[in-house]
Amino acid sequence: MTVLRQKVDVLTNQSQEIYKLLKKKLISKEYANYQFMQKSQIPTMHFQRSLPRLPIPALDLTCKRYLAAQKPLLIDEAYRKTESNVEQFINTSGKHLQELLKNYDRLNKHSSYISEFWSDSYLRDRKPIPINYNPMLVVHKDERPAYNNQLIRSANMIISSLRFYKSLKADILEPEVYHLNPKKSDTERFRNICSKLPPAISWYGAYLFKAYPLDMSQYPNLFNTTRIPEIDKDRLIHNPAGKHITVQYKGHFYAFRVLTNNNDIIPAKQILARLKYILEDPIPKCELPIGILTTLERNKWASLRHELESNGNDQCLKYIDSALFNVCLDSEDLGEDPYGIVRNFLHGDGENRWFDKSFSLQISKDGQAAVNFEHAWGDGVAVLRYIQDVFTDSRENPFISPDTDPYDDNISNVIRLDVHLNDKIKSSIQEAKNEYKSTCKSLDIDYLIFNRIGKNVCKKQAVSPDAIMQLGFQVGYYRMTGKFVPTYESCSTAAFKHGRTETVRPCTNATKAFVLAVTSKYKPPVSELKYLISECSKVHNQLTREAAMGQGFDRHLFALKKFAEKTNMACNIFEDPAYAMLNHIILSTSTLNSPAIFAGGFGPVVKNGLGVGYIIKDDELGVLVTSYPPYHRGSDFIDSLRGTFDELVNLLQKD
């Protein structure tokens, strides 16, 4: 804990020194404008030490919430059995496990009770990580066509990424703060006061403004970080000494330095020249690209990676692992077709990808751009902040224009990473290509853009836009299948130190009541249906608040289950088939709203499930659905949703 405080103090002092130098003009404005994206008065990690810790919910409340989530899914007999198991758990093993968890939490005050367990669950899963775990976020194209040239856009996004990185390292990136009332708290007065408060009490100062600083402990892992496959459990490595990036083009890997020995970003014209050199490399497409190996089952990939290392590729892999980040320059135009864009950035053919990297910037030949990220190190909140800042900065402050001439007096700094392959690896690459092609072919991707409803309509009717989206998913799925199924909505717990995510369970008794009413042959009056919608919104808002405040039940039970496994303690609640059923997520949903984002998506959690990414704008909504036919066809769900949202908006707008 003392070491952590010392690090925070060093960062705070460093950022304040840089801020003072900037203010006194002892660092040139031109230098600062190029090297740093932001120059925050409040140090980036200023609130980190005083963030509240993720609470461990009361055992009886967790069990009550668990039963509430089970109620709409179970028949009466199964529910009574589950209720009995829960009652027994509360009065016996649950108490002991709760005490073990609290003791563990007391001994790890620098973190949260869920952080290690949650990361461990990602690293232990042996499923391939593309589609199953790695999400992607596609950003909008630049409104200036000339800036969508692949060379220009990739150079500007790389430079903006480095400016983000430098601001983060210097502790002058704007801290992530949720302002309840931005007009009153997102002000110069707020920044002046909070920047002067000691880090140990700074959170409390922000709280008085009704502003809530968010955890930023994941942000350093955006850069110089890679997931390394190992047998049974992978590991994350972080190498802050890396000053280069890797670039993939036509399946080949290249590396070049982007930072000087003093950690300054090299001139923009040099970055442009080095990218141009790569794009003009006449080498044919790589027929045996090692990137495809990152699409494999993790144990298989672990064995092959050790084979690669022992076959003289150790240095090549070190370049990839220690790179600040990875850039994938694709050789194809994607046009404006959402299907093609999403497919390319979610999975592609795997040959020009390295899915193990913390994140990869992906830019198509015609300038479509996205970020695809590995999930064990962190969550969508950090990646969204990064990509929206980079998107905005690369458009508003481009250092490369169509008129910029590339110049580099040392182009030999660009290294093409030659890979040595034996027959076993060659054969494995070919097998991986065939296997991945089959997997991707089996995945359906469908989308809906619906412009009759958005935030404005919902606010006018005093209902939550997110509640309406989730209600639409429940009605749409029931109309398609006649079933109520386990549903997952991701909710960030970044309001707490080392918080990760919590689950909102949108299938509730309230949504079930509405679904049965609206699909009934004899529908109730409009007034009653509107009342039921209002009740659904109230229940959903309550569940969302509880989850965001660390009062959901999923992560708590998950941690208790881990302690039960550690101590070989039998617990009826975890052996109950209903527990396994609830965690077999059929509808996996998530939303990340930002003006920068064109689309976001991920694969289904289970083969017979649906992956549902959605965006709610002021006057329209967008839904992206992934599925594996014949278990489900996303197109059927989209058709059902279209009719459902039509009916919902008609109901909401009726007097």
Residue at 166: amino acid letter: K
Nearest-angstrom CA–CA distance, 620 and 643: 15
* Consecutive H or E run containing 621: strand 621-627
Q: Considering only CA atoms, which of 461, 430, 441 is closest in space to residue 530?
A: 461
* Consecutive H or E run containing 164: helix 150-169
SS3 content of the chain, % helix, strand, coil (to 5): 50, 15, 35
Q: Considering only CA atoms, which of 548, 565, 604 is closest in space to residue 124?
A: 565
DSSP 363: E
Q: How far is CA 333 from CA 259, 367, 368, 447, in A?
A: 31, 8, 8, 21
* Consecutive H or E run containing 655: none
Burial 456-490 (b: 16+ CB within 10 A, else e): ebbeebebbbbbbbbbbbbbbbbbbeeebbbbbbb
* DSSP one-letter string for 218-263: TGGGGSSEEEE--SSS-EEEE-TT--EEEEEETTEEEEEE-B-TTS
Catalytic residue among 347, 375, 556, 632: 375
Burial 216-238 (b: 16+ CB within 10 A, else e): bbbbbbbbbbbbebbeeebebee
- 8 A C-beta contact, residue 259 and residue 243: yes
Does 347 participate in catalysis according to the annotation?
A: no
- 8 A C-beta contact, residue 117 and residue 557: no
Q: Considering only CA atoms, which of 110, 99, 92, 1 is closest in space to residue 56?
A: 99
- 8 A C-beta contact, residue 255 and residue 249: no
Q: Considering only CA atoms, which of 400, 348, 339 is closest in space to residue 372?
A: 348
Q: Considering only CA atoms, which of 112, 146, 183 is closest in space to residue 402?
A: 146
Nearest-angstrom CA–CA distance, 347 and 351: 10
Active site amino acids: 375
